[in-house]
Structure 1
């Protein structure tokens, strides 16, 4: 069954990099890629009482520019030696990047969104980079994979999955993690960070459920104590040179515990490895 992947682009080098990465990651899979550019109109804003309309000069100029850049992007894709099982579609949308993505996920039944994070010095990359955390938090109906700036594709040596063992895991919520592990042959490292000496009975039950969800894959369980989640995750991934992180964004609970403001900066904008944000569909 073919996969539908949305890649928002601002025509920056970082959004191009996420495009290249995704093409390599799914090189053996049948995929439809949707390249979406959200454009604004000079002298107008989405929260203004004056809204640009199709047919107006500024609107048509902005749309024509966006569509022309998307055509150039399609031409540039030819250097990637696109596999026959990949197809690319483009769309220019008058909206903010986050709303454009949310709406497109719904209308096209998108399976995965892949975004670039913010470059350190390239100002043009701030358009999408500044929205990285919004994508991870607000795109709730499909996972979001964040590709760091300057990251060249290589199959991950392992995928670290931090967990509190308090989430009611479902196979369908983990299917994209399972798929990446399968197509890259990457083992999953389940990481639990806690100050408690042992798991509660409920956590033990959730641990068994999670292991059932990973059945057929290579995975190991790891435990760090006497550390907060952010510190423990950093220590674990850095000491092992782990090359991908995946987590379930259980809104306002586990997400907030991991992604305190410093962690948002670390993983949302300055991550050195790809980060896959999955979602608890009950939230």
Structure 2
């Protein structure tokens, strides 16, 4: 049984991410938790705040949230009638991060699927603020889906790594199980001037090879000083349709996610991006 959390703000981007998840995991027995955390919405409507008390406004927002979630369930039953899938809707007067964290812990969620951007849809940013918060602070694999991305079947997956960190078997199994129904090829990309691996790196590579045994794996080495450009170039030149990275301390990905100005992110991701979390909670 795979458990999948899909946060939504009822935007087209969020709905597209849900549709992607329904199709990607169509062969799996899954429980979907479709969640809307509406605490921010209560204070966002300045007009209603002037005419209603907080309690009245909360009831209005809560009712609207529940109604929209029921609408999503109708959409799901229409576009993806799958007997392997069951659904739960969660409407919560809470912040997105807090509610996501709570559901991940209580339900042992395997993966979070969401759009790279939500309602604001600022095209200058790789990730919207909500997606960025989940990538940073919720300890669970996250699959971020770009706006209007429709190519569901992952045929070629890129996994950049320096082989310096121990990987979690459960998360590699998740990747293996996602890729194997589509016979996807996984390219492990090591960006380095040296073509030799240390004993530690070799051990980690062997572990990856064993954990992803259902899949065809290519072990690649690229000499490039700029890691971002190396990844971007590889994606373009090899028709990659999913990017996988690990979020760990002092990693390239952590440097991206924790930049003070998000606008500086130079890796504009146009394909689904799976972030495996290898970080302990504070």
**Residue 170 of structure 1 corresponds to which residue in structure 2?**
168
Deviation (angstroms), 1:282 = 5.5
How big is each residue's C-alpha offset from its partner over 1:165-213, in whole Å with a ceiling of 9 and x where there is no partner? 1011232231111111112210111000013353333322322222222
**Residue 243 of structure 2 corresponds to which residue in structure 1?**
245
Q: Which runs of 5+ in 2 are unaligned?
A: 45-53
> Whole-Å Cα distance in 1 between the matches of residues 222 and 263 of structure 2?
18
**Residue 92 of structure 2 corresponds to which residue in structure 1?**
93
> Whole-Å Cα distance in 2 between the matches of residues 161 and 72 of structure 1?
36
Task: Give the one of 216, 221, 224 matched to 2:222.
Answer: 224
Deviation (angstroms), 1:263 = 9.4
Q: How does 1:207-222 map to 2 (within 5 A)?
A: 207-222=205-220
Structure 1 pair 265/110, CA: closer, same or farther in 2 (3 Å)?
A: same
Give me the TM-score of the superposition, normalised by structure 1: 0.85
Structure 1 pair 220/120, CA: closer, same or farther in 2 (3 Å)?
A: farther
**Residue 71 of structure 1 corresponds to which residue in structure 2?**
70
**Structure 2 counterpart SS, 1:252:** coil
Structure 1 pair 169/203, CA: closer, same or farther in 2 (3 Å)?
A: same
Task: Give the one of 263, 273, 276 matched to 2:271.
Answer: 273
**Residue 49 of structure 2 corresponds to which residue in structure 1?**
none
> Is the 1:6–1:112 contact (alpha carbons within 8 Å) kept by the matching residues of 2?
yes
How big is each residue's C-alpha offset from its partner over 1:74-117, in whole Å with a ceiling of 9 and x where there is no partner? 12223203211111111111122222211111122211100101
> Is the 1:6–1:113 contact (alpha carbons within 8 Å) kept by the matching residues of 2?
yes
**Residue 49 of structure 1 corresponds to which residue in structure 2?**
none
> Whole-Å Cα distance in 2 between the matches of residues 230 and 260 of structure 1?
15
Q: Which runs of 4+ in 1 moved over 4 A?
A: 41-45, 119-123, 257-264
Deviation (angstroms), 1:232 = 1.0
Alignment RMSD: 2.7
> Is the 2:157–2:242 contact (alpha carbons within 8 Å) kept by the matching residues of 1?
yes
> Whole-Å Cα distance in 2 between the matches of residues 35 and 20 of structure 1?
12
> Is the 1:245–1:273 contact (alpha carbons within 8 Å) kept by the matching residues of 2?
yes
**Structure 1 counterpart SS, 2:91:** strand
**Residue 116 of structure 1 corresponds to which residue in structure 2?**
115
Bigger mean CA offset, 74-83 vs 29-38:
74-83
1:190 and 2:188 correspond: yes
**Structure 1 counterpart SS, 2:92:** strand
> Whole-Å Cα distance in 1 between the matches of residues 263 and 205 of structure 2?
25
> Is the 1:41–1:62 contact (alpha carbons within 8 Å) kept by the matching residues of 2?
no
How big is each residue's C-alpha offset from its partner over 1:40-77, in whole Å with a ceiling of 9 and x where there is no partner? 266759xxxxxxxxx92122111111111111121222
Bigger mean CA offset, 82-91 vs 196-205:
196-205
> Whole-Å Cα distance in 1 between the matches of residues 36 and 178 of structure 2?
26
Structure 1 pair 75/7, CA: closer, same or farther in 2 (3 Å)?
A: same
Q: How does 1:195-210 map to 2 (within 5 A)?
A: 195-210=193-208
